[in-house]
A and B are shown apart, each in its own frame.
Chain A
Amino acid sequence: MDIGKELLLEMYRRMQRIRQFETRLKDLTIRSEIPGFIHLSIGEEASAVGVCAALRPTDRITSTHRGHGHPIAKGGELKRMLAEIYGRRTGYCKGKGGSMHIVDYSLGILGANGIVGGGIPIATGSALAARVMKRDDVTACFFGDGAANEGTFHESLNLAGVLKLPVIYVCENNGYQVFTSAASVTAGGSIAARAQAYGMPGFALDGNDVLEVYRYASNAVARARAGEGPTLLECRTYRWEGHVVGENAFGGRPYRSEEEVAAWKARCPIVQFEKRMLESGRVSREELDQLIAQTQAELDAAVEFARSSPLPDPSEAAADIYG
C-alpha cells in the first residue's frame, strides 16, 4: 500500500498531538489543576491514529475511559477537550462529562465511556443504524483487553457477525486490565482468535506500528463499507503509564517490572515511525520538528483557553437531562 507524504505527516501530527496532550495533562493533574480520574494512553498512539486515518469524517467511533487519544485521532479540538477536562463551560460537554467522556458529534465521535465494555454495543448499534438508513458509513469501536472479557464483547460481536454489520472492533491490548496482567485473565491467549467464533476475520497486529495498523484498518473499513461485515483487530501495545494518574498514592504492591516498562518504551511508536520516515528520505527532520513546534504552540493556547474559561453556573446542572 502506497501511503502519500501528506497522510504520513498527518498521522505523525496526530500522534504528536496525543503524546503532547497527555504528557501535559499528566503534569497538570499532578499539580492538582484538574479534578477526577485521568487515564493516559501514552505509548498507545499508533492504534488510535492508524485506525482513524482509515476513516472518513462521516464515519463514527466509540472510545473508552482511556479516551483522549481516539478523539484527537478523529480530529478533536485540543482546546475544547482540555476545557472539558478542566470542568469548564466551554468544554465539549459543557463540563458534564470530563476526561472519560469526550464527545464531538460533528466529527462522529459518539463518545468515550466510563464503563469498560460499555461502548461495544453502542458502536454495534451505530453500525446497525447505517444498515437501517442505507448509508455506507462505518463505525470503529475502540476497547481494551479488559473489555474483551466483558459480556458485551460477546453479545455485540455475535450480533454484528450475524447481521454482517459495518463495524471494526479495535481491541487495544495494552497488557493490563487496571492492575492485573491481561495475559493472566484472558483464556486462550489471543483476543484476535476469538473472531473466528463469530465468523469474522481477526488479526493480531503490532499495535505500535502505525502503518501496519493503518493497512489492516483500511482493509477492514473497505470490507465493512462493501457490506461484507465486521473485523476484529487486536493491536498489541503497552500502557507506559499507570492505570490512573496518581495510582501510587493508593499503595499496593508493584504489578509490573521496570525492565518490562523500559523494554516497551524502547519500542516507542512515535520514535519508530519517525525513524522509518526519515530513513525513507521522504520526510525531513525539519518538517517533523515544525509539526512538533506547531502542536506545542497549539497546546499552550489550549491550556490558556481552558484555564481562562468560565466554570459552569450551578444552575446549569439541571440542563440537558431531557431533550
Chain B
Amino acid sequence: MARITFIQAIFEGLIEEMERDPSTFVLGLDVTRGTFGRAAGFFERFGPERILDMPLSEAGFVGAAVGAAMAGTRPICEVQFASFFYCAFDQLCNQAAKLRYMSGGQARLPITFRTRCGAVGGAAAQHSETVYPQLLSVPGLKLAVPSGPADAKGLLKSAIRDDNPVVVFEHLALGGSREEVPEGEHLVALGKAAVKREGRDVTVIAIGAMVPKALAMAQRLASDGISVEVIDPRTLIPLDEQAILASVSKTNRVVIADEAHLHGSAASEIGCMIAEKGFDYLDAPIKRVAAMDAPVPFSPPLEKAVIPGEQAIERAVREVLG
C-alpha cells in the first residue's frame, strides 16, 4: 500500500475505472489540464476522445452527461465547484435524478459527478458551500462525501460502476491529505458507513472534512478519559442507518458534525432519523454542529466564525456528556 494524497487516490481510481470500462469518459471544464491536481500522463493515456474539455456551460454539459448516459456511455462529469450546480439544477435534479423513474425504469443513468466543496479560506460564499443538503431531498441521486484518500478512491470507483447518478463531493481542504491507499481493486460500497474510531461514551457522526476534525478532537479528549466513537456515513444517500443506530445504542449520546448550513443540513436529517428510530437509546438530547446560517463570508476571521471547527465539536461533546 502506498501513502498517497486524496487527489492522487482519486486519479488512481479514475484511471483504473477508465481502463476497465471503455464506455467511460471524462467531461468538464479544464479536464485535459486538471484544475485541482492531476495525474502525470492522464490525458496522454486516454486522449481527447475520452477526456473532453467543455465550454463554460454547466447546464449544457451536465445535460450532455445525462444524454450520453442514456445513450449507453458511463460519463464522469466534473463540475469545478459544487455551487456551480446551481447553474445546472434542472439537468441534475429534474433530468438526471428523475428520468429513470419517469421512464418506468427504461432509462439507465450511470453518471458520476465529481465536484469540490467546502470552505478553505477566503473563497467567499459562491465557492465555499457544501451543496449536498440541497440534493438530499432529490430522490434518484446518490451522494458520497469521502473524508480521506482511501475512501475517496473506493467511493469514486463504486460511483463509476453504479447505474445511478452519483455526486462525489471532494472537500478542497482534504486534497493534500495523505494516508495508505490500497492499490488496484479497492471498492467502498455506497451506503456503508465506517467506524473511524471506536469509543464508548459518545458517538460523533462526522461528514466529509469534519471527520479529521472529529478524530483530532477524539484523540485529545482521550487524555481526559473521554472515549469518543467517530462514525463517517461516507454516503448521505443511501444512508447507513443501521451503523449509526448501532453506535448510538452503544454510547447513548450523539453529536452530528456537518459543514453545511444548519438549517436543512445532513446533520438535521440524520438527527431526525435517530430521534425517530433510536429515541430509546438516548440519554441526552441530540446535538448538531453545523455552519451558521449565513453565506460563507470572505474574510478569514468571518469564515472561521461561520464554519465549525474542532472546538465546536468538543463543546457539543462535553454538553451531551453533561
Q: Does A288 contact B (CB under 8 A)?
A: no
Interface residues of B in 60-118 (CB under 8 A from A): 60-73, 75, 90-91, 94-95, 99-109
Chain B CB within 8 A of A40 CB: no
Q: Is A132 touching B163 in the complex (CB atoms < 8 A)?
A: no
A124 & B67 in contact (Cβ 8 Å cutoff): yes
How close is A95's CB to chain B, nearest CB, in angstroms? 8
Q: Which residues of A contact B67 (CB under 8 A)?
A: 62, 110, 121-129, 139
B164 touches A322 (CB 8 A): yes
A66 on the B face (CB < 8 A): no
**Which one, A97-105, A175-183, A206-214, A239-247, is touching chain B?**
A97-105
Residue of A with least CB distance to B109 = A323
A322 with B64: CB separation less than 8 A: no
Alpha-carbon gap, A121 to B88, bound state (A) = 11
Minimum Cβ distance to chain A for residue B234 (Å): 17
Within 8 A of A (CB), among B201-257: none
Q: How far apart are the CA atoms of A224 and B142 in the complex, in Å? A: 35
Q: Complex: how many Å from CA A224 to CA B130?
A: 41
Measured CB to CB, the closest approach of chain A to B103, in angstroms, equals: 4
Of listed B90, B106, B164, residue having the most chain A CB within 10 A: B106
Given A101-B102, A125-B67, A155-B60, A133 contacting B94 (CB threshold 8 A): no
- Which of B59, B71, B142 lies in contact with A60, CB distance below 8 A? B71
CA distance A130 to B71 in the complex (A): 8
How far apart sit A115 and B94, CA to CA, in the bound complex (Å)? 8
B107's contact among A103, A118, A139, by CB below 8 Å, is which?
A103
Q: Which residues of B contact A132 (CB under 8 A)?
A: 23, 25, 49-50, 68, 73
Tell whether A320 pairs with B70 under 8 Å between CB atoms, given A133-B23, A155-B55: no
Assuming A121-B91, A125-B64, A319-B105, is B59 touching A111 (CB within 8 A)? Answer: no
Which of A156-164, A260-268, A291-299 contacts the other chain? A156-164
Contact of B91 among A110, A111, A118, A158 (CB under 8 A): A118
Query: In the complex the two chains form, what is the Cα distance from A151 to B188 in whole Å?
Result: 38
Instruction: Confirm or deny: B139 has a beta carbon within 8 angstroms of a beta carbon on chain A.
Output: yes
B94 touches A118 (CB 8 A): yes
| A129/B72 in contact, CB under 8 A | yes
Does B126 touch A at the CB level, under 8 Å?
A: no
The number of chain A residues with a CB under 8 A from chain B is 48
0 or 1 for each of B24-39: is its CB under 8 Å from A? (1 = yes): 0101000000000000
Asked whether B104 lies within 8 Å of A94 as measured between CB atoms, the reply is yes
Q: Are the CB atoms of B100 and A159 closer together than 8 Å? A: no
- Contact: B59 with A155, CB < 8 Å? yes
Q: Please, which residue of chain B has its CB at the minimum distance from the CB of A125? A: B67
A159 nearest CB neighbor, chain B only: B60
A122 surroundings in chain B (CB, below 8 A):
63-64, 66-67, 70, 95
Minimum CB–CB distance from A233 to chain B (whole Å) comes to: 19
Question: Is the CB of A42 closer than 8 A to any CB of chain B?
Answer: no
What chain B residues lie within 8 Å of A92 (beta carbons)?
Answer: 103-104, 106
Neighbouring A residues of B107 by C-beta, 8 Å: 103, 105, 110-111
How far apart sit A151 and B60, CA to CA, in the bound complex (Å)? 8
Given A118-B94, A129-B68, A159-B57, decide whether A94 and B63 contact each other with a Cβ distance below 8 A.
no
A120 within 8 A of B: yes
Is there an interface contact between B65 and A125, defined as CB atoms closer than 8 Å? yes
Pull 14 A–B residue pairs with CB atoms less than 8 Å apart, ordered by A. Answer: A91-B104, A93-B103, A96-B101, A103-B104, A111-B70, A111-B103, A114-B94, A120-B63, A125-B68, A152-B60, A159-B55, A321-B100, A322-B140, A323-B108
Identify the A interface with B (CB < 8 A).
60, 62, 91-97, 101, 103-105, 110-111, 113-115, 118, 120-133, 139, 151-152, 154-156, 158-159, 162-163, 319-323
| Top 3 closest pairs, chain A to chain B, by CB | A121-B63, A125-B67, A155-B60
Q: Using CB atoms and an 8 Å cutoff, list the residues of chain B in contact with chain A.
A: 23, 25, 27, 49-50, 52, 54-55, 57, 59-73, 75, 90-91, 94-95, 99-109, 139-140, 142, 163-164
Taking A139-B67, A321-B101 as given, write out 11 further A-B residue pairs in contact, using a Cβ cutoff of 8 Å, ordered by the A residue number: A94-B105, A96-B104, A97-B104, A110-B107, A113-B95, A121-B63, A125-B65, A128-B64, A128-B68, A155-B61, A162-B55
